[in-house]
Amino acid sequence: MPDKIAAQIEKFHTAARQLWIGDLDTWAKPAFHMIEIPKIAAYTLFDYNVLLFNPDYYYPNQPDYLFETVGHEMGHLIAARLYGEKAIVRPHGKEWRHVMIVLGIPPKIYHSYPDPKRADTVALTMLTTGAACKKKPNNSCIV
């Protein structure tokens, strides 16, 4: 496990619990895994409080990846914890953007990292599964 990602998750987790005292007191720090996901920089598994990070994009793109990509995914979990019980939270909607701004992270939806498997650069969508989206009966997400 990369220590820098763990430290960044801890930093955002602590900041969020201090900024939203009372609302996030029982929120456990999310777990994370490094896993290759083709053309995806990171992924949020809301139902499991788990973040997935792609090492192919993490290693060559520090410190941007540590701040913006890790922050982006943490923003999904925080927004879902803050607003998920009260309303349907769109993955990159106003609640997520609010969390990002309060944390001081640019609320960007896309990054453009060089694709290590291809010679050109592709825009990567930060994807979220279930991180505050309306669930369909088959447990997929309506974005």
> What is the token pair recorded at 121?
């650069």
Dihedral angle sign, alpha carbons of residues 105, 17, 134, 51: positive
Tell me which of 10, 36, 68, 73 is the catalytic residue: 73
Q: What is the DSSP string of 92-127?
A: TSHHHHHHHHHHT----SEEEEE-TTSSSEEEEE-E
**Would you call 85 a catalytic residue per the annotation?**
no
Catalytic residue positions, numbered: 73
